[in-house]
């Protein structure tokens, strides 16, 4: 029942970054956990130009073995070149980060890329992927221009980006939530009312320029916005008692929570839904289908849940959720 | 009264009046000369033992703080466990800053100086606390460690401590400039008074010679000669002292200032390079931009984009040390190292962009890393150049002070001699009239 009510607002929330849709978000029912995990389905939204924004291209049957890649395909070209060029971020713990101990790249996104590399080359040796650090605002252009073969960088699929790149199926659904200290007060308050119901003068930290801070200013004028230029900087403010809460995508909050796992907690329901996809050039549809096949396999063989457990643990929920189901825009 | 006027109108009376006036004027000129020389000697002493050492101290405080900031970043880059030399360098920098701070405070700072010292004194423990937290978090494997370091560097060190240290150094500079000006100004008042008394002695000699048909009054001639010697000695003494003191500026603290600025920029660039890697892109390229900015100030930027060319601090250092081959060689060594660093930094930036994080970090932190080696070379060359010019300063200021040695006593004795000779000369002349 809730699906019909929730989905239009979900698409609306997605479209917030593109065109403000304003009203309605705060009034909707709390989505059930299952709907959060599932990718928003094709429903006519406020942007009629791309109603099926999260629907990708269907895999061509089963995943071919590395030795049996179709001749002349993008994967074949990559295999012959010997490495994949991937756009990543090193500062999005736990999706893409440098392990402080080993100084090696790790993360949910990084491991997904390693899986793709393994499917092409048969192994995921250190030389199989050439990582390029791509700034958030350059992600779409880097793929479109061919600087990188693929981008896996907590990239939300939206209409504007879909105009310049093709996305894989949704591999993770994030949503804006709150992180508070476990002080016996902040963590026990009722956050079901969303941002609008936050206590007056609560000091909430967010990063200027993010969609989260926009939501915060719009929906919680009673709260005091504390700004920091990075999310980790927000955690510093929270730990130093200069902020009471942090609000942004739960994936980022999970990363912060993991660094102070005894004394902080992610609270509240999802205020937005951010479906993450890997970006690939529009003219490489064969590669999109191939990556989708890889993702399909990860969903089925339990590897996705393994990665979730490894990188997100119990930061967001006590149990590992089901992976988001893939949607395809062409019929089988 | 009438008798006095009558006596004054007579030749002996006029001679007596002239004599008294001459004694007064020569004693006054002597007094002013002694005072002026004493004042210059005091100012020169203040330059040598007060304002210049304070300038050096404030410079040292700034350097130590900037060093701590750069080294803390480099240490964090190595992960939770930094190498012994990096840890030691950070520790030493903080200790130097603290102890120099205490010395400066104990020296009896007042007013604005005390204000800035207390800003540093209050914020330094806060800075150290955040750096320790950054280390502890990093050691736990928490990436928030980088955010703590950034908070320490951006919100405390660069926002509060370094500006206070800059203000402190500017005050010391101002004091030094003032003391230097006082020590090297030409003593016009005593010089003019001495000239007036010399002319008076000349006039009196002429007057006495006319009235007595004698050619020369020996006493007045001796007094005039003593005054002439005073003028010459005062002029030569203060002039040679000025020459030496000016050299202490042109070859001493002037270049030291430029070299120290270059060293600060080097430290900041090193810190920026490390912080770029520590932040791993979450600073949106801010530290890389900062590095470029600092680098431009260090090596210069050619004119372009409607902006005038910027003369690099190293080029300025080369100019101000051009007359001093020993220091110049060190500046040249720093320039060569800067060229190598430029190359190494481009490599680091490329490695970072290609996700070869470990390689990039190795270039910056490992003892044989290209970037680290180049930084160490510049830092060492500039440190040696500063020490060299510091020595030049001390030598010049010492001979500048020596030129004023005994000058005040000499001028006093000469003034007394002139007065005594005048009294004697006049007494002898007047005595002749009293003889029946």
- Strand locations in A110-197, DSSP E? 129-133, 150-151, 166-167, 172-174, 176-181
CA angle at B67 for the pair B61 and B71, rounded to the nearest 5° = 150
Please say if the pLDDT value at position A22 is more than 50: no
φ, ψ dihedrals at B167, nearest 5° = -60, -40
Q: Which two tokens stand for residue A91?
A: 């500062």
Helix spans in B151-253 (H): 162-184, 188-212, 218-247
Residue A30 distance to chain B (closest CA, Å): 32
Residue A234 distance to chain B (closest CA, Å): 9
Counting Cα atoms < 13 Å in the Cβ hemisphere of B283 gives 23
CA angle at A243 for the pair A242 and A248, rounded to the nearest 5° = 145
Q: Which of A83, A86, A98, A153 to mutate to test the interface with B (most CBs of B within 10 A)?
A: A98
Q: What is the mean pLDDT of residues A4-9?
A: 39
- What is the rounded distance in angstroms from the CA atom of residue A83 to the CA atom of residue B107? 65
In this structure, are residues A262 and A255 in contact, taking their beta carbons and an 8 Å threshold? no
A84-103 residues touching B, CB cutoff 8 A: 88-91, 93, 97-103
B87-116 residues touching A, CB cutoff 8 A: none
Please say if the pLDDT value at position A306 is more than 80: yes
Chain-chain contact of B279 with A91 (C-beta, under 8 angstroms): yes
Predicted local confidence at residue B304, as pLDDT: 81
Residue A330 distance to chain B (closest CA, Å): 36
In this structure, are residues B279 and A91 in contact, taking their beta carbons and an 8 Å threshold? yes
Predicted local confidence at residue B56, as pLDDT: 85
Match 């096949």 to its residue by tokens.
A293
What are residue A92's DSSP bridge partners? A96
Looking at the complex, does the CB of residue B424 fall below 8 Å from at least one CB of chain A? no
Q: Which of B74, B66, B92, B63 is nearest to B135 (CA)?
A: B74
- What is the rounded distance in angstroms from the CA atom of residue B69 to the CA atom of residue A230? 20
- What is the rounded distance in angstroms from the CA atom of residue B338 to the CA atom of residue A113? 39
- Measured CA to CA in angstroms, residue A320 lies from A60, A131, A269, A304 at distances of 29, 29, 17, 10
Please say if the pLDDT value at position A13 is more than 60: no
* More confident site: A192 or B79: A192
DSSP of A205-269: EE-TTSHHHHHHHHH-TTSEEEE-SSHHHHHHHHHTTS-SEEEEEHHHHHHHHHTTTTTEEEES-
In this structure, are residues A100 and B78 in contact, taking their beta carbons and an 8 Å threshold? no
Looking at the complex, does the CB of residue B79 fall below 8 Å from at least one CB of chain A? yes
B284-313 residues touching A, CB cutoff 8 A: 284-285
**Interstrand relation of A203-206 and A224-227 (parallel, antiparallel or unpaired):** parallel
Of B137, B143, B352, the CB nearest to A97: B143
Chain-chain contact of A133 with B80 (C-beta, under 8 angstroms): no
Looking at the complex, does the CB of residue A311 fall below 8 Å from at least one CB of chain B? no
Residue A35 distance to chain B (closest CA, Å): 32
Residue B82 distance to chain A (closest CA, Å): 11
Q: Under DSSP, is residue B9 helix (H, G, I), strand (E, B) or coil? A: helix
Q: What is the mean pLDDT of residues A110-135?
A: 91
Does an H or E element contain A66, and which? none
Predicted local confidence at residue A2, as pLDDT: 37
- What is the rounded distance in angstroms from the CA atom of residue B120 to the CA atom of residue B102? 11
Closest residue in B to A133 (Cα) is: B353
Q: Under DSSP, is residue B304 helix (H, G, I), strand (E, B) or coil? A: strand
Q: Under DSSP, is residue A201 helix (H, G, I), strand (E, B) or coil? A: coil
- What is the rounded distance in angstroms from the CA atom of residue A258 to the CA atom of residue A269? 19
User: Measured between beta carbons, which residues in chain B are less than 8 angstroms from residue A236?
Assistant: 144, 147-148, 151
Chain-chain contact of B146 with A90 (C-beta, under 8 angstroms): no
Tell me if the bond preceding B137 is cis, omega within 30° of 0. no
User: Measured between beta carbons, which residues in chain A are less than 8 angstroms from residue B146?
Assistant: 232
User: Measured between beta carbons, which residues in chain B are less than 8 angstroms from residue A103?
Assistant: 79, 357-358, 361
In this structure, are residues B242 and B41 in contact, taking their beta carbons and an 8 Å threshold? no
Q: If 0-12 CB within 10 Å is exposed, 13-18 middle and 19+ buried, where does residue B110 land?
A: exposed
Looking at the complex, does the CB of residue A255 fall below 8 Å from at least one CB of chain B? yes
- What is the rounded distance in angstroms from the CA atom of residue B78 to the CA atom of residue B372? 13
- What is the rounded distance in angstroms from the CA atom of residue B222 to the CA atom of residue B205? 11
- pLDDT tens over chain B, length 436 residues: 565 556 666 778 888 898 999 999 999 999 999 999 999 999 999 888 888 888 888 888 999 999 999 999 988 888 767 888 888 999 999 999 999 888 888 776 678 888 999 999 999 999 999 999 999 998 888 888 989 999 999 999 999 999 999 998 899 889 899 999 999 999 999 999 999 999 999 999 998 888 877 678 899 999 999 999 999 999 999 999 999 999 998 888 889 999 999 999 999 999 999 998 888 777 777 899 999 999 999 999 988 888 888 899 999 999 999 988 999 999 999 999 999 999 999 999 999 888 788 889 899 988 899 999 999 999 999 999 999 999 989 999 999 999 898 999 999 999 999 999 999 998 888 887 765 5
Chain-chain contact of A98 with B280 (C-beta, under 8 angstroms): yes
Lowest mean pLDDT among A13-22, A181-190, B74-83: A13-22
Q: Which two tokens stand for residue B73?
A: 């970043």
In this structure, are residues A216 and A271 in contact, taking their beta carbons and an 8 Å threshold? no
Q: Which two tokens stand for residue A220?
A: 């919680």
CB neighbours of residue A72 within 10 Å: 9
Predicted local confidence at residue A34, as pLDDT: 35
Q: Under DSSP, is residue A56 helix (H, G, I), strand (E, B) or coil? A: strand
- What is the rounded distance in angstroms from the CA atom of residue B21 to the CA atom of residue A9? 106
Q: What is the mean pLDDT of residues A54-76?
A: 91
Of B79, B140, B143, the CB nearest to A93: B143
Residue A221 distance to chain B (closest CA, Å): 27
Please say if the pLDDT value at position A265 is more than 50: yes
Looking at the complex, does the CB of residue B352 fall below 8 Å from at least one CB of chain A? yes
Looking at the complex, does the CB of residue B434 fall below 8 Å from at least one CB of chain A? no
Task: Read off the pLDDT of residues A145-179 as tens digits, 9 standing for 90 and up.
Answer: 999 999 999 999 988 899 999 999 999 999 999 99
Q: Which two tokens stand for residue B75?
A: 């240490």
In this structure, are residues B72 and B156 in contact, taking their beta carbons and an 8 Å threshold? no
Predicted local confidence at residue A210, as pLDDT: 80
Looking at the complex, does the CB of residue A331 fall below 8 Å from at least one CB of chain B? no
Of B282, B353, B356, the CB nearest to A91: B282
User: Measured between beta carbons, which residues in chain B are less than 8 angstroms from residue A229?
Assistant: 283-284
Looking at the complex, does the CB of residue B349 fall below 8 Å from at least one CB of chain A? no
Q: If 0-12 CB within 10 Å is exposed, 13-18 middle and 19+ buried, where does residue B342 land?
A: middle
In this structure, are residues A217 and A225 in contact, taking their beta carbons and an 8 Å threshold? yes
Note if the pTM is more than 0.80.
no
Q: Which two tokens stand for residue B229?
A: 């010697």
**Interstrand relation of A245-249 and A203-206 (parallel, antiparallel or unpaired):** parallel
Of B150, B354, B361, the CB nearest to A103: B361
CB neighbours of residue B100 within 10 Å: 21
Please say if the pLDDT value at position A25 is more than 50: no
Predicted local confidence at residue B8, as pLDDT: 60
Predicted local confidence at residue A70, as pLDDT: 92
Chain-chain contact of A132 with B353 (C-beta, under 8 angstroms): yes
DSSP of B380-414: HHHHHHHHHHHHHHHHHHHHHHHTTTTHHHHHHHH
φ, ψ dihedrals at A172, nearest 5° = -160, 140
- What is the rounded distance in angstroms from the CA atom of residue B162 to the CA atom of residue B66? 8
């Amino acid at each position: 029942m809730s699906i019909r009510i929730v989905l239009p607002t979900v698409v609306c929330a997605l479209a917030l970054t593109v065109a403000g849709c304003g009203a309605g978000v705060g009034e909707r029912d709390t989505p059930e956990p299952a709907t959060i995990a599932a990718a928003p389905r094709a429903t006519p939204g406020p942007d009629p130009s791309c109603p099926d924004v999260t629907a990708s291209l269907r895999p061509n049957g089963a995943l071919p073995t590395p030795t049996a890649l179709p001749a002349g395909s993008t994967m074949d070209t990559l295999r012959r070149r010997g490495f994949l060029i991937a756009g990543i971020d090193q500062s999005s713990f736990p999706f893409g980060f440098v392990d402080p101990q080993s100084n090696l790249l790790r993360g949910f996104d990084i491991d997904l890329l390693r899986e793709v590399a393994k499917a092409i080359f048969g192994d995921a040796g250190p030389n199989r992927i050439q990582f390029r650090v791509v700034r958030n605002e350059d992600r779409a252009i880097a793929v479109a221009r061919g600087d990188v073969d693929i981008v896996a960088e907590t990239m939300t699929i939206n209409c504007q980006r879909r105009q310049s790149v093709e996305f894989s199926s949704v591999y993770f659904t994030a949503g804006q939530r709150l992180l508070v200290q476990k002080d016996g007060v902040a963590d026990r308050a009722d956050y079901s009312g969303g941002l609008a119901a936050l206590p007056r003068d609560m000091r909430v930290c967010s990063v200027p320029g993010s969609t989260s801070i926009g939501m915060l200013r719009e929906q919680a004028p009673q709260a005091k916005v504390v700004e920091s230029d990075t999310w980790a900087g927000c955690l510093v403010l929270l730990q130093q008692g200069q902020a009471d809460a942090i609000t942004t995508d739960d994936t980022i909050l999970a990363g912060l929570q993991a660094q102070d796992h005894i004394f902080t907690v992610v609270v509240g329901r999802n205020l937005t839904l951010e479906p993450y996809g890997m970006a690939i050039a529009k003219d490489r549809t064969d590669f999109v289908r191939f990556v989708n096949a890889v993702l399909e396999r990860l969903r089925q063989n339990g590897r996705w849940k393994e990665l979730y457990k490894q990188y997100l643990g119990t930061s967001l929920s006590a149990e590992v959720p089901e992976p988001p189901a893939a949607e395809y825009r062409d019929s089988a | 009264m009438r008798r006095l006027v009558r006596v004054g109108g007579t030749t002996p009376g006029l001679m007596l009046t002239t004599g008294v006036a001459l004694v007064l004027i020569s004693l006054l000129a002597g007094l002013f000369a002694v005072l002026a020389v004493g004042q210059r000697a005091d100012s020169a002493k203040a330059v040598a033992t007060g304002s210049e050492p304070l300038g050096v101290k404030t410079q040292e405080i700034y350097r130590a703080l900037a060093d701590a900031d750069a080294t803390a970043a480099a240490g964090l880059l190595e992960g939770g466990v930094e190498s012994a030399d990096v840890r030691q360098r950070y520790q030493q920098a903080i200790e130097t800053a603290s102890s120099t701070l205490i010395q400066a405070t104990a020296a009896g700072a007042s007013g604005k100086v005390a204000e800035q010292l207390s800003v540093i004194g209050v914020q330094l423990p806060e800075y150290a606390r955040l750096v320790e937290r950054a280390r502890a978090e990093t050691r736990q494997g928490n990436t928030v460690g980088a955010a703590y370091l950034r908070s320490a560097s951006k919100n405390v060190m660069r926002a509060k401590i370094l500006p206070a240290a800059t203000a402190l150094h500017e005050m010391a500079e101002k004091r030094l400039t003032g003391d230097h000006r006082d020590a090297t100004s030409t003593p016009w008042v005593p010089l003019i008074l001495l000239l007036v008394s010399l002319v008076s002695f000349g006039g009196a000699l002429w007057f006495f010679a006319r009235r007595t048909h004698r050619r020369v009054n020996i006493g007045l001639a001796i007094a005039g000669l003593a005054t002439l010697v005073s003028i010459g000695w005062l002029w030569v003494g203060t002039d040679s002292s000025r020459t030496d003191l000016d050299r202490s500026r042109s070859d001493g603290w002037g270049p030291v200032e430029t070299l120290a600025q270059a060293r600060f920029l080097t430290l900041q660039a090193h810190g920026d390079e490390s912080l770029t890697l520590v932040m791993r892109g979450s600073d949106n390229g801010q530290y890389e931009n900062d590095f470029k900015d600092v680098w431009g100030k260090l090596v210069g930027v050619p004119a372009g984009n409607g902006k005038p060319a910027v003369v690099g601090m190293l080029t300025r250092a080369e100019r101000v040390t051009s007359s001093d081959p020993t220091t110049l060689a060190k500046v040249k060594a720093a320039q060569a190292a800067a060229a190598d660093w430029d190359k190494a930094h481009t490599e680091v930036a490329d490695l970072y962009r290609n996700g070869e994080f470990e390689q990039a970090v190795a270039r910056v932190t490992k003892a044989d890393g290209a970037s680290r080696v180049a930084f160490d070379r510049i830092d060492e060359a500039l440190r040696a150049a500063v020490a060299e010019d510091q020595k030049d300063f001390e030598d010049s200021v010492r001979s500048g002070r020596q030129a004023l040695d005994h000058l005040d006593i000499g001028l006093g004795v000469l003034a007394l001699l002139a007065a005594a000779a005048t009294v004697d000369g006049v007494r002898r002349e007047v005595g002749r009239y009293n003889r029946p």
